[in-house]
């Protein structure tokens, strides 16, 4: 009876149902569960502790990380409760996004290049090196970029477009402000950038021929779109086969003043929503990860998301 009561108490919270379902097929670390559920570490750890006390979970240490999985040695009563919890989790509104985020997190485990980049980025500012900066690295990477046809959607006055045009075969900058387009075009002429063209249009229906560009960039632009999913579909349409879409945008946040201060339609995006829209549009090899976090309030986080046609 004690085992039954412990199991009932442990599974009385929707969050613990979600965690149980996430651990159905794979063991996960606390950090991975945080990323999937978007909950704080202390909250996740508390829920894990309660599930483990009820003998529903097992854990193991690997360096500084702790991994959790369903108890492989659970008795019959515990197994019945685990299966019931998994069925119950499927009825929760968060189940779809949890499974999408789980798929993304597990896929990234195998991306050693991303792991290495994060390690390098983490070491970058630990010690001073004369002349060493992200700005300098950016110039280096631009020099070795292949000559692509690039669409910069929601380009604004074209700061990124100007940089890309130094090496690209052609850059098409699209924005819905006639004034900004005029400013950008004049500046491009002054700088002698003949391969940089500004066009008036919106993200949902950019004035670019289908199957005509190698790369589409949406840099902090998608949160201004009326319909983000349609903007992603339009990006797919104008890409050549094998072309890529890459987006930089904000992770979903609660800073309501962004509507007034920056004219944002959307308060960032959940990774699961971006993954769903990319997949629905037809993109393959989808990658989504948080690549920057601001230290000052409201602590905006930047997502890099993309895929291949």
Q: Give the CATH number of domain 2-108.
A: 1.10.10.10
Q: Show contacts of 190-194: CB within 8 Å, 24+ apart.
A: 191/162, 193/162, 193/165, 193/166
Q: Has residue 113 got a pLDDT over 60?
A: no
Residues 137 and 157 sit within 8 Å (Cβ to Cβ): no
**Model pLDDT, residue 179:** 93
Give strand pairing partners of 66.
61
**Residue ranges of the chain that CATH labels 3.40.50.150:** 141-308
Q: Assign domain 141-308 one CATH number from 3.40.605.10, 3.40.50.1000, 3.40.50.150, 3.30.70.20.
A: 3.40.50.150
Centre a 10 Å sphere on the Cβ of residue 300 and count the other Cβ atoms it contains.
Answer: 15
Report the pLDDT averaged over residues 32-40.
Answer: 91
Confidence grade of residue 184 (pLDDT, cut at 50, 70, 90): very high
Tally of CA atoms within 13 A in the half-sphere of 305 that contains its CB: 27
Residue 37, H or E segment: helix 30-37
| Rounded Cα gap, residues 87 and 93, in angstroms | 13
| Contacts (Cβ under 8 Å, ≥6 apart) of 292 | 301, 302
With 0-12 / 13-18 / 19 or more C-beta atoms within 10 angstroms meaning exposed / middle / buried, residue 285 is exposed
- Predicted model pTM: 0.71
Report the pLDDT averaged over residues 47-59.
Answer: 92
Report the pLDDT averaged over residues 74-83.
Answer: 87
Q: Has residue 244 got a pLDDT over 60?
A: yes
Confidence grade of residue 216 (pLDDT, cut at 50, 70, 90): very high
Q: Has residue 1 got a pLDDT over 50?
A: no
142 versus 97: which is more confidently predicted?
Answer: 97
Report the pLDDT averaged over residues 289-302.
Answer: 89
Report the pLDDT averaged over residues 180-199.
Answer: 94
Mean pLDDT across the chain: 90
Phi, psi dihedrals of residue 251, rounded to the nearest 5°: -65, 150
**Residue ranges of the chain that CATH labels 1.10.10.10:** 2-108
Report the pLDDT averaged over residues 18-23.
Answer: 95
39-43, 89-93, 123-127, 177-181: segment of lowest average pLDDT: 123-127
**Model pLDDT, residue 117:** 66
For the chain, first and last CA: distance in Å? 56
Q: Has residue 70 got a pLDDT over 90?
A: yes
Task: For the chain, list the strands marked E by DSSP.
Answer: 28-29, 57-62, 65-70, 149-153, 170-175, 196-200, 213-219, 239-250, 284-293, 301-308
CA distance readout (Å), 293 to 115, 159, 198, 248, 296:
17, 22, 31, 13, 9
**Model pLDDT, residue 181:** 94
Residues 117 and 141 sit within 8 Å (Cβ to Cβ): no
**Model pLDDT, residue 137:** 81
Report the pLDDT averaged over residues 243-249.
Answer: 97
């Amino acid at each position: 009876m004690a085992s039954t009561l412990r199991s009932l108490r442990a599974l009385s919270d929707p969050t613990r149902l979600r965690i149980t379902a996430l651990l159905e097929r794979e063991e996960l670390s606390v950090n991975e569960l945080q990323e999937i559920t978007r909950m704080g570490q202390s909250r996740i750890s508390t829920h894990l502790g309660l599930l483990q006390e009820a003998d529903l979970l097992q854990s193991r240490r690997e360096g500084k990380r702790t991994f959790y999985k369903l108890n492989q040695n659970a008795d019959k009563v515990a197994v019945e409760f685990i299966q019931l919890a998994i069925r119950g989790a499927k009825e929760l509104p968060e189940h779809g996004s949890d499974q999408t985020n789980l798929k993304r997190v597990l896929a990234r485990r195998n991306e050693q290049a991303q792991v290495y980049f994060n390690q390098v980025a983490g070491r970058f500012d630990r010690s001073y090196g004369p002349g060493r900066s992200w700005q300098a690295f950016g110039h280096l990477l631009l020099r070795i970029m292949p000559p692509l046809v690039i669409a910069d959607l929601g380009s604004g006055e074209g700061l990124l477009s100007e940089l890309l045009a130094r090496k690209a075969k052609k850059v098409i900058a699209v924005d819905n402000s006639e004034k900004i387009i005029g400013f950008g075009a004049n500046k491009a002429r002054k700088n002698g950038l003949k391969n940089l063209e500004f066009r008036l249009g919106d993200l949902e229906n950019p004035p670019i021929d289908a199957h005509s560009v190698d790369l589409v960039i949406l840099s902090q632009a998608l949160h201004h779109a009326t319909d983000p999913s349609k903007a992603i579909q339009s990006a797919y349409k104008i890409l050549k086969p094998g072309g890529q879409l890459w987006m930089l945008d904000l992770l979903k946040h609660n800073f309501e003043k962004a509507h007034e201060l920056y004219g944002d339609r959307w308060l960032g995006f959940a990774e699961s929503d971006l993954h769903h829209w990319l997949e629905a549009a037809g993109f393959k090899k989808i990658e989504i990860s948080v690549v920057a976090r601001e230290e000052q309030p409201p602590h905006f986080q930047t997502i890099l998301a993309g895929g291949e046609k």
